[in-house]
Amino acid sequence: MKLENIVPWGRSFAEYQAMFKLTNTDLQQNILGCGDGPAAFNKELTQRGGQIISIDPIYEFSASQIKNRINAVYDEVLSQVENNKTNFVWKNIKSVDELGQIRMQAMNDFLTDYDDGKQQGRYLSGSLPKLDFSDHQFDLALCSHFLFLYSDHFTLEQHIKSVLELCRVAKEVRIYPLVSLDGKGSPHLDLVIDKLNEYNIETQLQPVDYQFQQGATKMLVASTN
């Protein structure tokens, strides 16, 4: 993976909690964060005594490389949001400036934790659709803003393999959002659900409290218990 092709962008612990409807019981489980990038979820959950491993291809890079890349893309990402403001719901986050502050705070939190987390094995370089974990090593796998969002870049076959792989390594999988970058429902969603059901994996579409991207009101929950 080339760093210049990556747009690092990370969400906060509170956003993860809302996107995945995480209860205190959920937060006490053994969690995999898949495609966590520069999000602050791992840092804050660890501080709260939780158990989490995050995987992402960007973890092959150093903190200073990721930081430089964040600084290089930050203005461009915000100006794209500004130009497409109607694609977002400005309720919890009130303005593009506030969005920038929340994202930068989360990414700085991540950066301050990254070296320690790498040493402790909490940030591992890895990529779907193949994960280097044993069967049901995790209670819960979370995938925020990667699967379904990048439906144009990641094929249906890659989606199916990835979600099956997440179900292999975790007893329960939650994925959010289910819309692609254009705000339309992902064309892969129904076919992925059909495939999971073929494997006797139970699926539910559950409404969540979090909404920022228009139309992103639900998460996919897949359970293999």
- With binding defined as CB under 6 A, does residue 10 bind ligand SAM? yes
Site for ligand SAM in 42-81 (CB under 6 A): 56-58
Considering only residues 46, 87, 125, 127, which one is a binding residue for ligand SAM as defined by CB under 6 A? 127
Binding mask 136-165 for ligand SAM (x = CB under 6 A): --------xxx-------------------
Residue type, 67: K
Looking at the DSSP bridge assignments, the partners of residue 124 are 55
- Of the pair 141, 196, the CB lying nearest ligand SAM is at 141
CB-CB contact of 138 with 30 (8 Å): yes
Least Cα distance to 74 among 62, 84, 82 occurs for: 82
Q: Which is nearer to ligand SAM, 9 or 88 (CB)?
A: 9
Specify whether the CB–CB gap between 10 and 106 falls below 8 A.
yes
**Cross-strand bridge partners of residue 138:** 170
Q: Does 211 bind ligand SAM (CB under 6 A)?
A: no
Query: Sheet harboring 123-124: ordered strands across?
Result: 123-124, 51-55, 30-34, 138-144, 170-176, 218-223, 202-207
Q: How wide is the angle at C-alpha 193 spanned by C-alphas 190 and 197, nearest 5°?
A: 140
**Per-residue tokens: 119:** 């040493």
Q: How far is CA 81 from the centre of its chain?
A: 19
Binding test (CB under 6 A) with ligand SAM, winner from 22, 27, 32, 128: 128
Q: Which of 3, 9, 78, 92 binds ligand SAM (CB under 6 A)?
A: 9
Among 13, 31, 37, 43, binds ligand SAM (CB under 6 A): 37
Q: Is residue 177 a contact residue for ligand SAM (CB under 6 A)?
A: no
Min dist CB 199 to ligand SAM, Å, is 21
Q: Which residues bind ligand SAM (CB under 6 A)?
A: 6, 9-11, 34-37, 39, 56-58, 127-128, 144-146
